[in-house]
């Protein structure tokens, strides 16, 4: 199997695809992104980094940041975190308020917005927001072995200006005692973590900490890595997580910027990006490219 050839074929197939989905419109800065872009990058366990398409173009990582903040929060709080957030797929939209009301302010999992707000809130305990963002950037830069990873302030401001629903989630959880800091500070930090930009090559490298094997940086105990991967498989694609597991068979975390980080345990860390989203809010071409990659490599965890 020639992996570079597989990636080139996938990129060519995606370039020829007309239906690219729709870019996220609810965050004004993201609505301006050129939908014709596509990139894929693979960091393998034997230390190679292969890519095709616009793999050096930075994109807004959005909800992919939730996998990294979860790793940081588990490092700080350990299993205590699970008193505040569950581990079940939500079966509802990623920003659902009704489910939170029925379940007394305890979000279903760390990857829906409410759960991610709790995770970020836990990182803020006894620290100011800039320290949390600095820790996140340190983690990402170390994981990717690249200091050129930054927050796009315009995207953060755009989300701050329109993030009424996230603020509602945070205030609601504060009423239940599950947000411990000023909800406005928690939201500000969350908007900024979502506004980190990375290219596919940087993201594939950063994801190596979840891959296991010898080539990636060891930043997490193996047991913790397994738990994050289990959550990515069951909850990483909003309300289409089952479908992604069904078709691709690999843990992944997607974001409304059109990026997806996918891990083939022990084999590879994969980043794919195309800004147009499908009806479930996942990258339309990214999902399709991952289906092709999994089929051609046989990397499904169920293979
Ligand atoms: N910042 C986005 C929001 O909270 C993240 C959504 C996502 O990527 O799923 O709406």
Spatial distance between the Cα atoms of 117 and 191, rounded to a whole number of angstroms: 10
- Do residues 237 and 109 touch, judged by C-beta distance below 8 A? no
Gap from CA of 3 to ligand 1 centroid (Å) = 32
Cα(195) to centroid(ligand 1), Å: 9
155, 195 Cβ separation under 8 angstroms: yes
Provide the 8-state DSSP code for 215: S
- Residue 63 backbone class (left: φ over 0; alpha: ψ -120 to 50; beta: rest): alpha
At residue 27, the pLDDT reads 87
Residue 130, token pair as written in the block? 């800039």
**For residue 260, what are the β-bridge partners?**
254, 272
Taking the centre of ligand 1 as the mean of its atom positions, its distance from the CA of residue 255, in whole angstroms, is 7
64 ligand 1 Cβ < 6 A: no
Would you say the CB of residue 94 lies under 6 angstroms from ligand 1? yes
Ligand 1 atom 2: residue of nearest CA: 62
Give the C-alpha separation, 116 to 105, whole Å.
13
Q: Which tokens hold the place of 124?
A: 């803020």
Q: Is-contact 254 236, C-beta < 8 A?
A: yes
d(CA 179, CA 218): 31
**pLDDT score for 97:** 87
Atom in ligand 1 nearest the alpha carbon of residue 194: 1
256 is catalytic: yes
Number of continuous H segments (helices) and E segments (strands) in the chain: 13, 8
67 phi/psi in degrees, rounded to 5: -70, -35
What domains can you pick out in the chain, each with its CATH number? Answer: 3-62+197-297 (3.40.710.10), 63-195 (3.40.710.10)
**Is 155 marked active-site?**
no
- Is residue 63 within 8 A of residue 95, CB to CB? The reply is no
The pair of three-digit structure tokens given for residue 240, joined into one six-digit string: 């289409």
* Ligand 1 atom at minimal distance to the Cα of residue 238: 9
Check if 196 is active-site: no
Could you say which residues of the chain have pLDDT below 50? none
What span, in angstroms and rounded, lies between the C-alpha atoms of 120 and 133?
10
Q: Is 111 in the pocket of ligand 1 (CB under 6 A)?
A: no
SS3 22: strand
Instruction: Ligand 1, residue 190: give the atom nearest the CA.
Output: 1
- Atom 4 (ligand 1) nearest CA: 113
* CA–centroid distance, residue 243 to ligand 1 (Å): 20
Q: Is 156 near ligand 1, meaning CB less than 6 Å away?
A: no
Q: CB of 69 closer than 6 A to ligand 1?
A: no
Angle at 230 between CA 5 and CA 247, to 5 degrees: 45
Asked if 178 and 84 touch (Cβ cutoff 8 Å), the reply is yes
Catalytic residue among 42, 66, 96, 118: 66
């Amino acid at each position: 199997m020639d992996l570079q050839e597989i990636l080139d074929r996938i990129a060519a197939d995606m370039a020829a695809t007309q239906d690219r989905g729709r870019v996220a419109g609810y965050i004004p800065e993201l609505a301006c992104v050129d939908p014709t872009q596509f990139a894929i990058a693979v960091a393998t366990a034997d230390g190679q980094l292969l890519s095709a398409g616009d793999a050096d173009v930075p994109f807004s990582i959005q909800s992919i940041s939730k996998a990294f903040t979860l790793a940081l929060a588990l490092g700080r709080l350990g299993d205590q975190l699970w008193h505040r957030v569950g581990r079940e797929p939500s079966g509802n939209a990623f920003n659902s308020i009704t489910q939170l009301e029925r379940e007394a302010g305890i979000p279903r999992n760390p990857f829906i917005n409410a759960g991610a707000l709790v995770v970020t809130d836990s990182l803020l305990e006894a620290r100011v927001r800039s320290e949390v963002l600095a820790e996140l950037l340190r983690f990402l830069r170390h994981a990717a072995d690249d200091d050129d990873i930054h927050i796009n302030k315009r995207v953060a401001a755009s989300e701050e200006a329109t993030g009424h629903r996230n603020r509602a989630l945070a205030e609601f959880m504060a009423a239940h005692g599950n947000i411990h800091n000023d909800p406005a500070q928690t939201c500000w930090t969350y908007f900024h973590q979502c506004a980190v930009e990375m290219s596919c090559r940087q993201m594939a490298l950063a994801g190596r900490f979840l891959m296991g094997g010898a080539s990636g940086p060891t930043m997490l105990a193996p047991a913790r890595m397994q738990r994050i991967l289990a959550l990515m498989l069951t909850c990483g694609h909003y309300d289409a997580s089952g479908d992604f597991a069904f078709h691709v068979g690999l843990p992944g975390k997607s974001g409304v910027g059109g990026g997806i980080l996918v891990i083939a345990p022990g084999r590879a860390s994969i980043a794919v990006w195309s800004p147009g989203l499908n009806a479930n809010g996942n990258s339309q071409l990214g999902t399709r490219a991952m289906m092709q990659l999994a089929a051609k490599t046989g990397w499904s965890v169920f293979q």
